[in-house]
A and B are shown apart, each in its own frame.
Chain A
Amino acid sequence: MDRHTTGFRIGWYTVNVLIGATMIGPFLWMLLTAVKDAGSVFVFPPELLPRRWEWSNFASVWEAVPFGLFYLNSLFVGIAVTCGQVTTSALAAYAFARLEFPGRDKLFFGYLATMMIPQAVIMIPVFIVLRSLGWIDTYKALILPSIFTAYGTFMLRQFFMSIPRDLEDAARVDGCGPVRILRNVVLPVSKPAIVTLAILTFMATWRSFMWPRIVIHTIEKSTLPIGLQAFQTLHETEYTLLMAGSVMAVIPVIVVFVLGQRAFVKGILLGAVKG
């Protein structure tokens, strides 16, 4: 249906290139600052290209803080939270969607009611409990409280409800119990929803800042965001180094996003389907 005149096309591409440049420009500036030598950034007017390319800035960051460890910590915590959340949510969601047992709907309403409660309300008591257990500054404190959200359960329940019952009924006639039905019938057809929840959970954990900042106090257990922030407090105005650290933090996210773009966009749309 779209028939566009040449004039329209030229205008359309011009506008998009301009907006695109606004979006990409700051990233390029980050990259260019990251490879300048420390003295040459404090000049006015700013120089676009480095006088000499100081690739060693990246090595300096790596030496100042254990950056590799930050990646590993973030990866480990992200995977642990994602696995925990997807598994427990899928089980609970199936129980809420398909199994009948006394008190089911009341319990589900209880889950829903907590979705409105701000994270801030829960943060303080959970911190106090973890502290009394001696779990502060452990991976447990990073992982366990992040696993359980009403959102994951709610989202998967909505998806399971949309699956035609015939499939399950057929399996039931063949003598399958609830465990086998979930594993062999429901989960295989729910792959898009599971992948979506996994991506959203992983991304949220990967970028999470406030909670890790509260429960982690040593640099060795830091995830990427709080590791980078710790690095910032060490090198307050050394923008070449700060930008080098930022480049290293941003690159894996960009790579993963560009590769998994389709699943990601689908995920956003699925995640937005509310009640």
Chain B
Amino acid sequence: MNTVANLTTRVEKLVGSDRVRASETALQEFAIAGRAPLAVLKPRSAEEVAEIVSFAAAEKLTVVPCGSRSKLELGMPPQRYDLALDMIDIRQIAHYDPGDLTLSVDAGIPISELTATLAGERQFLPLAVPFNATSTVAGAIASGIDSALRQQYGPPRDFLIGAEFADSTGKLCKSGGRVVKNVTGYDLHKLLIGSLGTLGVITRLNFRTFPLPELQGAHLATFPTMETALNFHASLLKSGLPFSNLELFDSEFSVLLAVTLDKLGGSASGSLTTGGWHVFASFEGSAAVLERIARELRKLAGQAQAAHNETLDLQRTQLMNEALREAFDWLRRAAPGVGLLRIVLPQIRSGDVTQLLNLSQPAPLRSAFVLRACNVAYLALLVDTEDASTKTALERGVSELSSRVEAAKGSATLLHAPLWLKDRINVWGAKRPDFALMQRVKQAFDPQNIFAPGRFVGGI
């Protein structure tokens, strides 16, 4: 029988005692939904990761890779949680070829560090994800969290060109490569995106980089009703104008956004506190391009009878981009009890949104709604106390919303919820027809189920 003390000694032999932590405080830092690992290991290299996985496989221990630990709450807590891998010391830039627009980086490098390096070459990686200050690049990929720039640059699957990872046999494997166009072998790296560590431990990621835009601009329009805001939103999508981000939100969301903006830099909130519905559009390019887009936006907003309509200066544009990028973080903290749903509907019509919002109206629920780029909506159900009746209302609201969305052939994922709610509701929603194929993928990658068991869709 392996005791915990025994385990600590043995993993210390594997990576050295300075790379193992087993104190109560350390273990709690890595806890997921109150569940702590038996030990935290901090590998120094990809090879060491592979050795640890090999050891875990032989000992039938489970492994959960961690970066900055900002998004560990996503999905379900692991059914078993033996070893936490703290990946933040594996953080080199392995290759960066600005002329080729390719970048190869270790899993644990913080995105903010990459941003600084790339900016030196007037390039960037369009991963505009929450927890920008701390999030590691592999955490951003493995969590599958939405990037605020996907309207223009696509989701990470469009610019992740290769990966290296430790597989369940403890070997380092790779997929893709370091060139921007490549169809050699199966695209296994695409499977890692959003997989929450259930297929392997990512050790390195290869990306296509992009030139930094010359200038950025944005436009904010306010509408008295949801219908007028949605009409304007639809007219923007039809206009063919290139937007780097496009978000439509209700008054509750805009109040929360205003609070965030004030924290970030003072009086940026302006028209956000006046109520109504808002449409925010950001764009980039040369001065002539910015001027043209801003002009057309003002015209379209006028036609859509916007109550208020303004082109933002560079500072306010950047503040808004930053605040919206972090929306996942501040929405989940917006009230003592929050159920944050990520909803993908076949298409967003005003009727659909009305239906969604009506469901969340019964007191004591409040809701904040944002329609983000590419048909992804976030709906936060908020309760100000956590007594029995509010708990019931929150649970009912979340489950009714999920079933409505599923009936409309959409999908609803619970990104954040209090622990008691996660225990009662399937955060991933109903199983989809391709679930059996996902199980085959998991079985092929991880037949012993040692990687983050139970965190993913359908209990994978």
Chains A and B come from one and the same complex: no
B residues neighboring A (CB under 8 Å): none
